[in-house]
Amino acid sequence: MSLLIRLLQALALLLFVGAATAEHTSNWAVLVSTSRFWFNYRHLANVLSLYRTVKRLGIPDSQIILMLPDDMACNPRNAFPGTVYSNADRAVDLYGDNIEVDYRGYEVTVENFIRLLTDRLDEDVPRSKRLGSDAGSNVLVYMTGHGGDQFLKFQDAEEIGAWDLADAFGQMWEKKRYHELLFMIDTCQANTMYTHFYSPNIVATGSSELDQSSYSHHADNDVGVAVIDRWTYYVLEFLETQVTSANSKLTLGDLFDSYDMSKIHSQPGVRWDLFPGGEQEGRLRTVVDFFGNVQNVEIENANATDPGSLKEDLAEIARLVEKWRKRDEEYSAILGNSSQSQSEGAQSHTVQLSSKKPVGATKMAEAGSWGKRLVGLSVVGACTAVWVAGSILGRSA
Amino acid sequence: MTSKNGDHGSPQTSSTLKADPKPSAQRVPPPETPEAIQTRFRVIAAFWAVIIFLGFPIWWKTTSIYRAHLPIQEMADWADGKTCRPVFPLEIHVAAPTMQLPESQHLVRTTQHALDDLNEFAAHHLRLKLTNDTETSTAQGIDNTPITGSMMDDAPDTALTVRVVAQEGLATPRSELRADTTQLDIFYPPSQVPIPSSSNPPLSVFIAEELQRLYSEEKATIAYILSGGAAGRDSESISRRLRRSMKYADTYHLSFSLFTPGSAPSSWDIEAAVQEYLSPLLHAFGPISNFTIDTQVQLYATFSPMAPPPVYDETESAWTLKKEDLSAFINAAEWPLNPSIGNGPTLNFILYVPDPSQSPMVVKENRASSWIVPQWGGVFLLNPPLEQAGQSGSQTNPGHITQESLRPAFMTFSHQLLTLLGTPTTPASLPLRLQSLIRVRAATLLLSASSTMGSLARLTESLAAIPIPATVASSVSTTLAQLSSTCSHLREGRFGAALTSARIAETEAERSFFEKSMVGQVYFPDEHKVAVYLPLLGPIGVPLLVSLMKELKRLVAGWKARRRSTA
Amino acid sequence: MAVDRRKVAVFGAAFVLRLLLICLFPSLPDLLTGRVEVSTPVNSFKRLQEGLYLYTRNVSPYDGGVFHQAPLLLPLFSLLPDVNSNPIPTAIFYFLVDLVNAHALATISESGQSVQSRLHSAMRKHIRWDGTSVAAWFLFNPFTIATCLARSTSVFTTSGILLAVSNAVSGNTLNAMLALGLASYLSMYPALLFVPLALLCYDQRAQKSAQAPSSGLFILQHGAILSGSIAGLLGLSILITGNFWEFMSATYGFHLLVPDLTPNVGLWWYFFIEMFDSFREFFLGVFWLHLASYVGGLTARLRRQPLFIITSLLGVFAVFKPYPSISDASLYFALLPLYRHLFPLMRYTFFAISALLYSSLLGPAFYHLWIYAGSGNANFFYAITLVWSLGLSILLADSIFAALRDEWEQDHPERKGQEVKQV
C-alpha cells in the first residue's frame, strides 16, 4: 500500500516539477510617476489607473509601493477638486476613497527609488515604505514621466540612468528579491531605459523606441490638460476589458500582441532575452502573474487526522499548556506565596514578550540662576584677570 | 555655476596679476628689481604650496571612494558551498534496562547497521549511543530543550532517547512515542532479545525502521533545502509547506485582532488567553525566534464592498463562505492590519465574530471555522452563543469574550503559528518537531547567510563605484566566523548552538548587504565630472598655471644665463 | 588722560542714536535679529537665546541642533537679565561693546601704522582721517548699527580682532595674541590672521628695540601664546559644557562642514544646495582652501604693510566665509578708512559702492519676493548676493591694487603721478 503511495507521489512529483519552478508566492507592485506640476497630470493619472487595476486584481495595498511626486487631486487648478480622472468621460475617480501613497512629493527621488528597490533603508523606515519581496515574489515595476535616451527625469531636478536601474535590478536579483520581474515604462525613448538590464528573469516593455516620443492619448477640456498617455491607455484598455478577473488565463503574449502602433503612435518594445526560455517561455506567463495576487488560502479541516493536522496539533498544544500549568503550580508551591509567584512566573514567561522601555524625556531642571551667574562671573573674572595681567606683562616686556 | 566660479576666481586672478609689479607705462617698461622678482616668486609659491600640500590631499581624500577590503574569495567559497558541507549527525541514546550489557551493545551495533543501510541521504544520519542511565531523558521535556544544556558543554545534543523494554505478551515489537518528551519507547517480546550471533535481528530492523520513519520528513526537508529546492522525495509537499511558512526572522511580531461588524463583543480576555494558551508555545520557540505581541479590538469592521457576502445554507443551518471567496474575506483596505511596529515581520491572527444576523458562520466546503493565509497569518471565525437583548427580543453577541471561550480560537492560532513558522508535521511529538525545526532553520540560515556573502562578493566586484564602509567589512568577518562555527557545531551535533551562530551570521550578513551607505548615484558619467571640475579649474587654474609657467621659464632662463656666464 | 571732547561727542551721539532707535522702534531689534543678512546660524541672537535657555536649565545647549556658538558666551549672557522682559540692559551691553570697538579703532588709527610702518611709508601721508573720524565712520555705519541692534554675536569676534590689532600697534603683543585667541575661539576663521598679526607685532617690536629679535623665534613664541589662549578658553568651555566632542562638533564642526544652508549674503549656501552630493566634501575642501590660500599670497606680496594684509584678509573673509553677514562687511568698512590715503589711487570706487548700495537695497526686497510673496525664487536672492560679493571683491581688488601702486611709487618716486596701466 505504502509502496503504491510512494509511486504515486513520485509520479506527481514528476508532473509538478515543471510547475513548481514557475510558481511564485507573492506579488508586489512598484508604481512610480516621476514628474510633478499640473501639466503632468497625465503621468499621475497613468500611475493611479494602474494602481487601481492591480488592486482590482488582488494585490493588497501593503504590497503596492505607490510613488506620487505631486498631488493633482488637491491642485488649486483642478476643476474637480479631490479627484483624478484618466478619461474625459470621468467615469472612474481614480483618487477614490482608498489610495495609499507610500512616497509622495519630494520623497520621490532617485535615491529613494534605488533604496526602495535594494532595501538599503534606515532601520526605522516603516514596512509600508519597503519592498518586502523575496525569492518567490513576482514584481511589477511601472514607471512614467519625462525621459530621454537612457534616462528618466525625476521631479525636474535629477534623473535616473538606465545603468542605475540595471544595477538596482542586478542587486535585487543578487539578493533574491524577485522571482520574476515585469518592467514597464511609459516615457519618451522608453525602450532605451531597459537596454542595460543584465539580471535574469526580467521581461521589459516600453512605449517608444530611441528617438521616438511617447504621446498623450487625449485631453479633458474641463480638466484642461491631457489625462493619460497613449501606451498606458491601450495597456489599461486591455487589462480592463479582457482581464476581468483574477483567474484570467490571458498571457503576457496576448498583452503585447495587443499593441497597435497605429493607435499608440510610437513603436513599443519588449525585451525577452533575459527571461529563461526567452520569448517562447515568457509569452506563456499570465498577465495576473504580475498584475494579480496569489493567495492560496488553506482551510483547516477540523476532522482530518493526518500528522500535522489541526486536530493533532491541538492535542499537542493542549498537552503543552497543561504541562506548563503544572510546572507553574509546582513553582508557586515551592515559593509558597502564590500570588507573588504567579506574577513572577508570568514574568518569566513573557521574557520574550516584554517590549522595550520607551526612552523617557529628559527632565529640565528649573534655572538655578545663581549658580549659573556665579559661573558667568567667574568666567568673566578669569578672562579679565588674564587680560589685565597680559596688559601689565605686555607693557613691561 | 560658471558665473559663480568666475566671481571667486576674479579677485584671485586680479591679485595674482597685480602681483606682477609691472603697472608701468607701456612705452618704458621699468626694470624689475630683484626684490620684486623674489616677491613675485614668493606669491606664486605661496599659492602653489597651498594647492600642492593642502589641495591635492583634500582632493584625493574627498573624491576617492572608500572601499574596505573584503575577503572576496572566502565569501564566494561559502556561497558555492566549498567551505562547508553541512552534516546533521543526530545522537540518539538507547537505553535497554531489561537487557544484559553485551546484548544491548549488540542491539545498538546491529541497529546502527540497519539504519546505515536504510539511509540514502548521507548528510543527515543517526548515531546510536548506548546509555545506562534510564532516567536522564524522561524528565527532559519541552522546557529544557536541548539547547539549554548543550550551550555549556561540548557534548552533542541528544535528539532522542530510545528505551527498549521487554514486555510480556507481545508477538511483535511495538513502539510508542511519548508525545510530550523526546522519548521513544520500544516494547519487545522477551523472546526477541537479539542473539549475539545474528547479524540482522528483527528487533534491530524494527527499531531502525521506526527511527527512519520518525525522521523521514526532516530528512526530506533538509535534503530539499540543501539541494536548493530542486529534487528529492516529497518535494512538492515540502515546497508547499515552505512556501506557506514565513521567511525566517529573528523576531516575529504577532498581532491578534478581534474584528466584529457590530458593537459587541467589545472586550476579550486577551491577556489571560495569551498567557495561558500561547506563552508556553512561544517559550518553547525561544531558542528559534523571539516574539512581540500586540492586540486590538476593532468594532464595526465591515467586509469590503467587493467581497462576496456569506450565503445562508439551509441544510447546514449556517451562513457559509465559499472557499474561493476567502481570499477576499479580509478587508485589507479598511481593517487596520498593517502595523509597522518593530523590525520583524508581522503575523496577523484575526478572530472574527460575525454579526448576530449572520451567525453562525462557517466555510461552506467543510464547515471549518479557520484558515491560514500563507505567509500572512490566520483567521478564526468565532460564533459565540447569542444572548437575548432586553425586551426587543433581538439577539446580540455577548459583550465580553471570556478566556474559556477564547480557548478554541487560541488553540487554532497556536496551530497556525506552528504551521506559519514552518514546523514539520511529523513526528507526533512537539518537542521532536521543534528540535527538527531547529535543524531545518539552522540549515536554511546557513545557506541564506552564505548566499548573501556570495551576493555581496559579486556586488563588490561588479560595481566598482560603490563605497564599502568599514562596518561592512566587520560585519562580513563576523558572518564568516559565525558561519564556520555554525558549520562545526553542526558537524558535532550541537544543533542549538549551531542555530544560535547561524542567527548571528544571518543578521550580520543582512546588515552588511543592506548597509545604508552602499547606495547613491552608482553611475556617474565622465561628462558630469568634467562639468563639475571645469568651472573650478577654468578661472582659478588657468592664471595659476600661466604664472607658474612664466616663473619656471624665468628660472630656466636665469639658470641658463648663469651657466653661460660661468662658462 | 586728557578727554578728547570731539571723541566723547561722537561716542555719545552714537550711543544716543542707538538708544533712540530702540526706544522709538521697539520691534526693530527683533526684526533685525530675524534677517538673514544680519543673523547667520553661527551668530544669531535667537539661537543664542535658545542655547541660553537650555543652558540655564542644565540641559546641554547643543541638544536640538539649534545653537552653534562658542559655549563661553552662555555664562556671559546668563549674567544679563532676561532679554524678553527687559531688553535694555542687553542692548546697552552691545552698545558698549560697539564703543569699545570704536575706541580700539581710534587707537589703531592714531598709531599711524596704516601710513607709516617699519618697512613702508605711504606717499600721501597727509590725506588721512584722525582716529575720531574713523571711529565715527564705524559707529555711524548703518551695517554696524544693524549688527549691534540685532545683537549678533559677531560683534565679539569684531572686538577680538580690533583689540588684537590695537594692542599690536601699541606694542602689547601679549594682549594682541590673547585677543586674537578670543576671536579665533569665537568664530575660528580669525586664526588665519595670525601670520600678518605676528608680523605686525614683530615690526612694532623691531621698531622699538634696538636690535630686531629673531623672527622665527618671535613667531613661534606668539604662536604658542595664541594656542595657549585658545586652549585656555577651550578648557574653560569643557568645564562649562562637560562634553568636549559635542561642543567641538556643534561649533567648529558646524563652521567647517557647513551643514546649514540657510540663505545668507555669502556664496556657499546656493552652491552647496546645487552640488552633487558625492562632490560635497571635495568642494568644502576647495572653498576652505580658497579662503585660506589668500593668507600666504597676500602676506608674501604685502609684507611691508602687515596692517593692510589684515584689512584685506578681513575683506576676503567677508566675501568667502561660509556664513558671512553684514557684520563682516562692516568690520572691513571700519578698517578701510585707515587707508584714506589710498582712495585717490582707487579707480572703481563708484562702481563698487553703487553695487553695494544696489544690493543692500534690493537684497531684502528680493528675499521678500522669494520667501514671502512667492513671486520670485532662490535665484533672485542669490543674484543679489552675487552682486554684493562682486561689489566687495571689486573694492578689495581695487584697494589692493592701490596699495601696490603706492608701494611701487615709493620704490620709483620719479614716476609719481604718471598715468599707469596694468600689464
C393 touching B, CB under 8 A?
yes
Enclosing H/E stretch for B45? helix B34-50
Q: Which of residues 288-347 of A touch B (CB under 8 A)?
A: 295-303, 306-310, 312-321, 323-325, 327, 346
Kindly state the average pLDDT of the residues B385-409. 80
Residue B28: is its pLDDT beyond 70? no
| Whether B234 and A323 lie within 8 Å, measured CB to CB | no
Residue C383: is its pLDDT beyond 60? yes
Catalytic, out of A24, A43, A179, A188: A188
pLDDT of A312 reads: 65
Round to whole Å and give the CA distance between B287 and A352.
11
Enclosing H/E stretch for B434? helix B430-462
Q: What percent of chain A has pLDDT over 90?
A: 27
C-alpha cell at A233: 491607455
Mean pLDDT is lowest, of A119-123, B133-137, B217-221, B287-291, for: B133-137
Q: Is A146 a catalytic residue?
A: yes
- Chain B residues touching A62 at Cβ < 8 A: 332, 338
Judge contact between B492 and B156, C-beta under 8 A: yes
Nearest to C276 among B45, B46, B532 (CB): B532
Judge contact between B39 and B444, C-beta under 8 A: no
Residue B246's nearest CA partner among B295, B278, B293, B289 is: B289
**B128-184 residue pLDDT tens:** 887 765 444 444 443 444 444 344 456 677 778 888 887 777 777 777 777 667 778
Round to whole Å and give the CA distance between A101 and C268.
36
Decide which of B29 and B531 is more confident. B531
**C314-324 residue pLDDT tens:** 999 999 999 99
Chain-centre distance for alpha carbon B343: 11
**B80-107 residue pLDDT tens:** 888 888 888 888 888 877 777 777 888 8
Decide which of C30 and B374 is more confident. C30
Kindly state the average pLDDT of the residues B415-439. 82
Q: Is A224 left (phi over 0), alpha (psi -120 to 50) or beta?
A: left
Q: Where are the beta strands (DSSP E) in B78-210?
A: 88-95, 124-130, 158-166, 174-177, 183-188
DSSP for A326-378 reads HHHHHHHHHHS-HHHHHHHHHHHHTTTTPPPPPPPPPPPPPP-HHHHHHHHHH
Q: Which of residues 200-229 of C touch A (CB under 8 A)?
A: 229
Residue B107's nearest CA partner among B14, B227, B203, B43 is: B203
Q: How confident is the model at residue C180 (pLDDT cuts 50, 70, 90)?
A: very high
Residue C140: is its pLDDT beyond 60? yes
Decide which of B57 and C89 is more confident. C89
C378 touching B, CB under 8 A?
no
User: Which of the 8 DSSP states describes residue B32?
Assistant: P
- Chain B residues touching C284 at Cβ < 8 A: 62
SS3 content of chain A, % helix, strand, coil (to 5): 45, 15, 40
Q: Which of C50, C63, C90, C175 to mutate to test the interface with A (most CBs of A within 10 A)?
A: C175
Buried b (16+ CB within 10 A) or exposed e, B20-45: bbbbbeeeeebeeeeebeebbebbbb
Kindly state the average pLDDT of the residues B323-338. 74
Decide which of B482 and B30 is more confident. B482
Nearest-CA distance from A58 to chain B in Å? 8
At A86, give phi and psi (nearest 5°).
-110, 10
pLDDT of A301 reads: 62
Residue B70: is its pLDDT beyond 90? no
Round to whole Å and give the CA distance between B505 and B513.
12
Q: How confident is the model at residue B215 (pLDDT cuts 50, 70, 90)?
A: confident
Q: Which ranges in chain A belong to alpha helices (H)? A: 2-22, 41-56, 110-118, 162-174, 230-241, 252-257, 261-264, 278-282, 288-291, 310-335, 338-349, 369-396
pLDDT of C313 reads: 94
Round to whole Å and give the CA distance between A133 and A24.
11
| Whether B281 and A320 lie within 8 Å, measured CB to CB | yes
Nearest CA in chain A to C175: A390
- Chain C residues touching A362 at Cβ < 8 A: 59
Kindly state the average pLDDT of the residues B225-241. 67
Judge contact between A131 and A117, C-beta under 8 A: yes
Kindly state the average pLDDT of the residues C220-233. 93
Nearest to A373 among C58, C79, C171 (CB): C79
Q: List Cα–Cα distances, B302 to A317, B330, C58, in angstroms.
A: 32, 9, 53
Q: Which chains touch B (3 or more CB pairs under 8 A)?
A: A, C
Residue C46: is its pLDDT beyond 60? yes
C-alpha cell at B232: 528529492
Q: Which ranges in B51-166 belong to alpha helices (H)? A: 56-63, 72-80, 101-118, 146-150
| Whether C286 and B521 lie within 8 Å, measured CB to CB | no
- At which residue does the C-alpha cell 543673523 appear? C39
| Whether C79 and A391 lie within 8 Å, measured CB to CB | no
User: Which of the 8 DSSP states describes residue C240?
Assistant: H
pLDDT of A363 reads: 60
C173 touching A, CB under 8 A?
yes
Residue B358's nearest CA partner among B316, B318, B308 is: B318
pLDDT of A365 reads: 60
Segments making up each domain of chain C, as ranges: 5-411
| Whether B21 and C408 lie within 8 Å, measured CB to CB | yes
Q: How confident is the model at residue B20 (pLDDT cuts 50, 70, 90)?
A: very low
Highest mean pLDDT among B28-32, C17-21, C269-273: C17-21
- Average pLDDT in chain C: 88
Q: Which of A6, A179, A317, A347 to mutate to test the interface with B (most CBs of B within 10 A)?
A: A317
Catalytic, out of A74, A146, A196, A265: A146
Q: Where are the beta strands (DSSP E) in A82-157?
A: 103-104, 137-144, 147-148, 151-154
pLDDT of B476 reads: 92
- At which residue does the C-alpha cell 535528539 appear? B159
C67 touching A, CB under 8 A?
no
At B426, give phi and psi (nearest 5°).
-120, 160
C-alpha cell at C375: 513671486
pLDDT of B181 reads: 72
Structural domains of chain B sorted by starting position, each given as residue range(s) with its CATH number in brackets = 2-23+30-64+525-566 (no CATH), 90-222 (3.40.390), 246-386+395-420 (3.40.390)
Q: Which of B251, B279, B426 to mutate to test the interface with A (most CBs of A within 10 A)?
A: B279
pLDDT of C128 reads: 84
Kindly state the average pLDDT of the residues B505-523. 79
| Whether C270 and B49 lie within 8 Å, measured CB to CB | no
- Chain C residues touching B466 at Cβ < 8 A: none
Mean pLDDT is lowest, of B52-61, B443-452, C225-234, for: B52-61
| Whether C404 and B54 lie within 8 Å, measured CB to CB | no
User: Which of the 8 DSSP states describes residue C308?
Assistant: H
Structural domains of chain A sorted by starting position, each given as residue range(s) with its CATH number in brackets = 23-291 (3.40.50.1460)
pLDDT of C360 reads: 92
Kindly state the average pLDDT of the residues C251-274. 89
Q: Which of A109, A150, A174, A347 to mutate to test the interface with B (most CBs of B within 10 A)?
A: A174
Nearest-CA distance from A359 to chain B in Å? 15
Query: Which residues, other chains included, contact B77 with Cβ-Cβ below 8 Å and sequence gap of 6+?
Result: B83
Residue B551: is its pLDDT beyond 80? yes
10-residue mean pLDDT profile of chain A (397 residues): values are: 46 38 78 90 92 86 89 88 89 83 90 89 83 88 92 85 89 89 93 92 92 89 90 92 82 90 90 89 89 75 54 70 70 54 41 45 62 85 90 73
| Whether A397 and C167 lie within 8 Å, measured CB to CB | no
Mean pLDDT is lowest, of B135-144, B238-247, B261-270, B515-524, for: B135-144
Enclosing H/E stretch for B252? strand B251-259
**C105-134 residue pLDDT tens:** 999 998 888 888 888 888 788 888 888 999
- Chain C residues touching A386 at Cβ < 8 A: 178, 229, 232
Round to whole Å and give the CA distance between A114 and A172.
10
Kindly state the average pLDDT of the residues B324-338. 74
**C328-377 residue pLDDT tens:** 999 999 999 999 888 888 889 999 999 999 999 999 999 998 888 877 78
Residue C241: is its pLDDT beyond 50? yes
pLDDT of B139 reads: 40
pLDDT of B430 reads: 77
